[in-house]
Structure 1
Amino acid sequence: MRFLRRGFTAARQFGFFALSVLLLALSSLWFIRAAISAGGLDLWASVAVGQAVGALGAIVVGYGWSVSGPVRVAAAQMQLERSREFADAFALRTLILAVATMAVALAIFLLPEVDVGLGLLGALPVMVIALSASFYFVGLASPSLLFWMETIPRAAFTAAAAFLLLTDSITVPFALAVQLLGNLCAVLLSGTYVLRSGLWRVWMRSSRSDGFLTLLRRQRQGLASALLAAFFSNAPMLIVTFVAPAIVAPFSVVDRLAKQMLAGSSPVTAVLQGWVPREGVSAVARRARVALAISWLAGVFVALVVAISARPLVHWVAAGEVEPGPLISVLMGSFVGLFLVQNAVSYAGLAAQGRLGVANRSMLVCTPIGLVLVGVLASPLGVVGVLTGICAGMLAACVWQSVAVLR
């Protein structure tokens, strides 16, 4: 009976996390299709490039709390510790956001054949949501709070923007502004709920005797882990922009859809992040191995689902302007499955063991291999070459990290 109760609790948590991700994915895919229909594939390419650069900026803004935050919240014994963790995170990340926004704007300006205004508007919603309390809700194992406080406002505003685009009520830049407003509402609503007070008090509550410098040092492994994974995920778009600009438009659709599908599998990582450290240090090694097995099984299953559904989904999202072949569909599935395994193994297994340094070393070695392959294969093989390079580098990292967990 105890086993059944635990299984039911885990299934309920997974289901609520999955519902959040499903709503966000559906609204986002609808938004992409509406933007392509309203402005064309070339216009969307500038937005997609901006989102790729913004995703890297968002990792800097998040500063590793998405990796180490859930573990700290799950292990905390008192509510005061949990609230302090979020207050520290919000205050520091807000300061970083101002600097990161300027850096992202400069990076977009330097990229060739990218509309700077559209690129920046595509980047801002991605960066702002890095301030959210999602890591707090994941560590608390409370997907229902995440659903009501963050998912609903984000999905509602994104869907509204897509609807307005399809009815020719607004243009793509205004639609991106609506999406940004939804993300701001989600950040404000979730932050206010966590602290039970006005957000201006976050700055007072986050004052620590050891200061922000200690926080910066403490979070460096989590930041490095998240940044390396995000860099490997988003750098191919930037490489393609330079070495094979002719395939930027079709690859932007394939890349974005694959990442949305990866986001759809994130409940696996979210549930494991809160589960592995919950019974204390003595159970972490055993639970980390169980999490490893679950991660690989889930990765293979998700890869098969994505490979089967990729072709009709790409056709629909691109409004018929992109038609992927069977090989691209298989590589998309491998992309999503391998990234799922890497996220779950490093963020749940290795993070709970206090061994994020192992994950970071594996990514530092394997990421350059994959990116070199992307640069070499993009021009002769197109989208197939880009996806092949990504999957090769990520497979090597997954094997390395899996061995580390088993040992």
Structure 2
Amino acid sequence: MKVLLARLLGFGSLPLLASLAPLLLLGIVSRASTLDQWAALNIGQAIGSFATAATMFGWQVVGPPAVALTPSESGRRTTYASSWWLRLGVFGVVTPAAVALSVVASPGGTGGLAALMCVAAAMSGLSMTWYAIGVGRARLITGFEVLPRMLALAVGAGLVAVTREPSWYPAAIVGGIVVALTVFHRRYFSWSIPPWPGATALRAAVRTSAPGAGVLMLAGVRSAAPVPAATLVGATGSVAFLASADRLYRYSLFSVSALGDALQNWVLEQGGRGRRQRVALVLHGALGVGGALGLAVLGPWTTGVLWGAHVASPPDFFRGYAVAFFFVSVGTPLVRNILVPRARTGYVLLSDAAGLVCGAGAAFPLVAGLGATGVPWALAVAEGVSVVGYVSAVVVARRAPDPR
């Protein structure tokens, strides 16, 4: 139990604190923004989140086990270098397209702001947190992810408060990521840029991460879709209200990822794996219920307090997000602790694809009947179908021999 509590503190609470810091600081940004600018920031963030998933290229899923199972330090360094160059290449290909889409989807006159926010979001795909989880060193996340992120956000919000120009916020995020990643490379690996690993190592990295990349990119599509989709069916005011609800939902999901990060290595350690899997399922289930209730009941009030009454979301926008949060939370341990370690990533990919298709299909009648408030319900359908697929895959996986 002491080990579990230490994991929750090191890999859970501090990263969660850094992830939730923008909830307070964004109040400064939202109050300095018009409705169009607030919508543009959230459109850029939403589309950029897909670029994040593409840039990460599966390493958030497959990276920690790959590093944890590599016995030598030189092997782990090669794994990181290969991952970094692969992700940098994907970033260079995907981000321009995401930026162009952000500009097109944003309200008139706010394309530059949406583009900058998109780049800031996409750069999160170059994060080193997966490596820190794999080597079991929470201090790396604290020193090179949590504290730099909080400092960058504070600087950006401060500049916005002084200048009344919201573009300083994403600009500070970009600067913070570049500086923090460079310092991490120098302090931990003694290089500023990872050395070129060679074509063979890069091909091996692609083979390792490709299944996880499909999973993350499908999840990124589901995550990115609501706000841009709302621009097709609602006025700017409706998009701004949905954007506030969507942003609170996104930040609430950091609690799920923080809990998943804290539990993943603990669950996969030798001994007591079945019991630890059950503990993880119970904790994620409790978080799912609590988080869903929190969004449904407190969401409208929270968006008004944090970001101002002019962009506060009505209760109707939160009900679908609450259901989606529950499904994301209960599905996370099934993927991270059972299916991926058992090399059943293909089942996860199929489940996510089915969820995406069903969610897109449900969006048409839901939006036709409910307007912009139907968009979160379509997301809930997508997440629910995915979880049904995960459960089915777990049943199949438990009946088959463990390939590990």
TM-score, normalization by structure 1: 0.89
Distance in 2 between residues matched to 1:214 and 1:80, nearest whole Å:
16
Q: Within the alignment, does 1:97 sit opposite 2:91 as a pair?
A: yes
The correspondence for 2:80, drawn from 80, 86, 90, is 86
Conserved 8 A contact 1:240-1:378:
no
User: How far did residue 268 of structure 1 move?
Assistant: 1.4
Q: Deviations over 1:87-115 (max 9, x none)?
A: 11112112222222222222224336353
User: How far did residue 186 of structure 1 move?
Assistant: 2.2
Cα 1:22–1:218 change in 2 (3 A) is closer
Q: Within the alignment, does 1:37 sit opposite 2:31 as a pair?
A: yes
Q: Deviations over 1:357-384 (max 9, x none)?
A: 1111011112121123234323542443
Partner of 1:390: 379
Cα 1:338–1:193 change in 2 (3 A) is farther
Conserved 8 A contact 2:299-2:318:
yes
The correspondence for 2:290, drawn from 301, 305, 311, is 301
Q: Within the alignment, does 1:159 sit opposite 2:154 as a pair?
A: yes
Q: Deviations over 1:51-76 (max 9, x none)?
A: 11111111111111001001112222
User: How far did residue 170 of structure 1 move?
Assistant: 5.2
Q: One-letter code of the match for 1:91?
A: W
Which segment drifts farther, 364-373 or 14-23?
14-23
Q: Within the alignment, does 1:199 sit opposite 2:192 as a pair?
A: yes
After the TM superposition, which residues 8-407 of structure 1 pair with which residues of structure 2 at under 5 Å, given as runs? 8-111=2-105, 113=107, 115-166=110-161, 168-169=162-163, 171-195=165-189, 197-200=190-193, 202-204=194-196, 206-207=197-198, 210-246=200-236, 247-279=238-270, 287-288=276-277, 290-406=279-395, 407=398
User: How far did residue 212 of structure 1 move?
Assistant: 2.4
Distance in 2 between residues matched to 1:286 and 1:301, nearest whole Å:
23
**SS of match in other structure, 2:269:** coil
Q: Deviations over 1:133-180 (max 9, x none)?
A: 1001112232222011111011111012112322x3351112321121
Cα 1:120–1:327 change in 2 (3 A) is closer
Conserved 8 A contact 1:373-1:386:
no
User: How far did residue 223 of structure 1 move?
Assistant: 0.1
Q: Deviations over 1:313-358 (max 9, x none)?
A: 1112331124444454443332222222233321332111111111
Conserved 8 A contact 2:47-2:224:
yes
> What percentage of residue pairs aligned between the two structures are identical?
24
Conserved 8 A contact 1:259-1:336:
no
**SS of match in other structure, 1:203:** coil
Conserved 8 A contact 2:148-2:176:
yes
Cα 1:126–1:325 change in 2 (3 A) is closer
Cα 1:292–1:116 change in 2 (3 A) is same
Q: One-letter code of the match for 2:307?
A: A
Root mean square deviation, CA, Å: 2.3
Q: One-letter code of the match for 1:346?
A: V
Long gaps (5+) in structure 2: 399-404
User: How far did residue 395 of structure 1 move?
Assistant: 1.3
Conserved 8 A contact 1:13-1:141:
no
Q: One-letter code of the match for 2:195?
A: W
Conserved 8 A contact 2:256-2:284:
no
Distance in 2 between residues matched to 1:70 and 1:137, nearest whole Å:
8
Q: One-letter code of the match for 1:315?
A: G
Long gaps (5+) in structure 1: 1-6
Structure 1 ranges of 4+ moved more than 6 A:
none
Which segment drifts farther, 336-345 or 126-135?
336-345
Cα 1:191–1:245 change in 2 (3 A) is farther
**SS of match in other structure, 1:27:** helix
**SS of match in other structure, 1:101:** helix
Partner of 2:401: none
Conserved 8 A contact 2:242-2:317:
no
Partner of 2:402: none
**SS of match in other structure, 2:32:** helix
User: How far did residue 287 of structure 1 move?
Assistant: 4.8
Distance in 1 between residues matched to 2:356 and 2:44, nearest whole Å:
21
In the alignment of these two chains, the number of paired residues is 394
Distance in 2 between residues matched to 1:191 and 1:300, nearest whole Å:
39
